[in-house]
Amino acid sequence: MAKTKYYYNSHTLKYEKVKTSTKAWAFRTLGFLTSSFGCAIFLLYVGFTFIDSPKEKQLQREVNQMALQYNIMQERLKQVDAALENMQHRDDNIYRVIFEADPIDSDVRKAGFGGVNRYKNLEHFSNSDLMIETAKKLDYISKALYIQSKSYDDLTEMAKSKVEMMASIPAIQPVDSRKIRGGISGFGIRIHPVYKIRKMHSGIDFTAPVGTAIYATGNGQVEAAGADGGYGHRVVINHGYSYKTLYGHMSRFTVKVGQQVKRGDLIGYVGNTGTSTGPHLHYEVHKNDIPVNPINFIYNDLTPSEYMAILEAASQENQSFD
């Protein structure tokens, strides 16, 4: 029940009841409603702006989870892309070189998709750029994998038709890994042990005791067997297909010129003849009469870990032994 209000009338010298007009009452009511509405609007604004509802919190958790999954997927795509790039490099620079086949043109590997816009259905979304970029990466990897698969099919057919070539190309280590002592000096610029200058070292030196067996690294015909200056006692095998191998500083050899040998046949023994600072085998691989790095031709009888150890040792710029 509303309280009755009075005021003192100085003319009548009496307290009289306050009478509120309809107009005043209407203004008061309107003012109250207006201020109440304004407060409600303010509270709603504060609530929606600074306070998340349970549904918003759930949606935010889902967004965070999606962002995490997207980042993980992007990282995996990078790993797949790196592995694919390594496969392509080995394909072009090792396998196709061995088979004397032309590498796949980079324009073919990296060509995009022509024609209509393949990603039109992904446009006009709030995260369209993200979706389109991911779809493009997946399409690129899928296409690159298809091309790489076809390349391996071609290499398989080459291998079937070139069995003799594969048997002839140097592909094993010329000395037993268990016999190697003291280290390896690799292909490239090395310090000459006698002249103490930086000089091109055209092969790999395998240090091993005198008398360690040396094996032919591929099928072929002995082209030379005898003394040859700095190489000492050396053997040269012509494998055909533009490949030759040279084995230097032998103590003695067991083959003669014109003899046919097969991969793994004994051809001589490690020595210290010629310009040499200690017992070792100097091994060279020539392609079209040009020395190439033999490290790429000793993969057949080594495990991946053994091959990586040989590769690391041969990559160090140390002193050669001849």
What is residue 140's predicted lDDT score, i.e. its pLDDT?
Answer: 80
What is residue 216's predicted lDDT score, i.e. its pLDDT?
Answer: 95
Partner residues linked to 240 by β-bridges? 243
Same-domain check for residues 157 and 200: no
Is the residue at 86 inside a domain? yes
**What's the chain's average pLDDT?**
79
Give the pLDDT mean for 5-29.
75
Tell me how far apart the alpha carbons of residues 122 and 238 are, in angstroms, rounded to a whole number: 61
Same-domain check for residues 308 and 183: yes
What is residue 200's predicted lDDT score, i.e. its pLDDT?
Answer: 67
What is residue 60's predicted lDDT score, i.e. its pLDDT?
Answer: 78
Q: What percent of the chain has pLDDT over 70?
A: 79
Same-domain check for residues 182 and 283: yes
The type of residue at 41 is I
Q: What is the CATH classification number for the domain harbouring 253?
A: 2.70.70.10
pTM to 2 decimal places: 0.49
Is the residue at 147 inside a domain? yes
Same-domain check for residues 202 and 272: yes
Is the residue at 249 inside a domain? yes
The confidence band for 266, taking pLDDT boundaries of 50, 70 and 90, is: very high
The confidence band for 313, taking pLDDT boundaries of 50, 70 and 90, is: low
Cβ neighbours of residue 14 under 8 Å, at least 6 residues apart?
8
Q: Does the pLDDT of residue 267 top 90, yes or no? A: yes
Give the pLDDT mean for 254-275.
93
Range of the domain at 21: 6-50
What is residue 301's predicted lDDT score, i.e. its pLDDT?
Answer: 61
Same-domain check for residues 18 and 102: no
Q: What is the pLDDT of residues 172-204, one digit of tens each?
A: 889 988 887 766 677 666 665 555 556 667 888
The confidence band for 265, taking pLDDT boundaries of 50, 70 and 90, is: very high
- How far from 145 is each of 48, 84, 107, 108, 305, CA to CA, in Å? 50, 7, 15, 12, 27
Token output for 43 = 């509270």
Cα 269 to chain centroid, rounded: 40
Q: What is the pLDDT of residues 41-58, one digit of tens each?
A: 887 777 777 776 777 778
Is the residue at 144 inside a domain? yes
Same-domain check for residues 204 and 254: yes
Q: Does the pLDDT of residue 308 top 70, yes or no? A: no
Listed residue (271, 281, 316, 302) closest to 203, CA to CA? 281
Q: What is the pLDDT of residues 275-305, one digit of tens each?
A: 888 888 999 999 999 999 888 888 656 666 6
Is the residue at 166 inside a domain? no
Same-domain check for residues 39 and 105: no
Q: Does the pLDDT of residue 310 top 80, yes or no? A: no
What is residue 181's predicted lDDT score, i.e. its pLDDT?
Answer: 73
Same-domain check for residues 186 and 275: yes
Q: What is the pLDDT of residues 200-231, one digit of tens each?
A: 678 888 888 999 999 999 999 999 999 988 88
What is residue 221's predicted lDDT score, i.e. its pLDDT?
Answer: 96
Whether the CB-CB separation of 241 and 219 falls below 8 Å is answered with no
- Spell out the alpha helix ranges (H) of 92-237: 96-98, 106-110, 128-161, 163-168
Whether the CB-CB separation of 245 and 170 falls below 8 Å is answered with yes
Same-domain check for residues 80 and 147: yes
Same-domain check for residues 288 and 262: yes
Q: What is the pLDDT of residues 72-90, one digit of tens each?
A: 888 888 888 888 888 888 8
Q: What is the pLDDT of residues 122-159, one digit of tens each?
A: 666 667 777 777 787 888 888 888 888 888 888 887 77
Q: What total of structural domains would you count in the chain?
A: 3
Same-domain check for residues 44 and 117: no
Is the residue at 59 inside a domain? no
What is residue 286's predicted lDDT score, i.e. its pLDDT?
Answer: 93
Is the residue at 169 inside a domain? no
First CA to last CA distance, the chain = 118
Give the pLDDT mean for 158-169.
80
Q: Does the pLDDT of residue 97 top 90, yes or no? A: no
Cβ neighbours of residue 295 under 8 Å, at least 6 residues apart?
186, 187, 204, 310, 311, 314
Is the residue at 1 inside a domain? no
What is residue 112's predicted lDDT score, i.e. its pLDDT?
Answer: 60
Same-domain check for residues 39 and 78: no
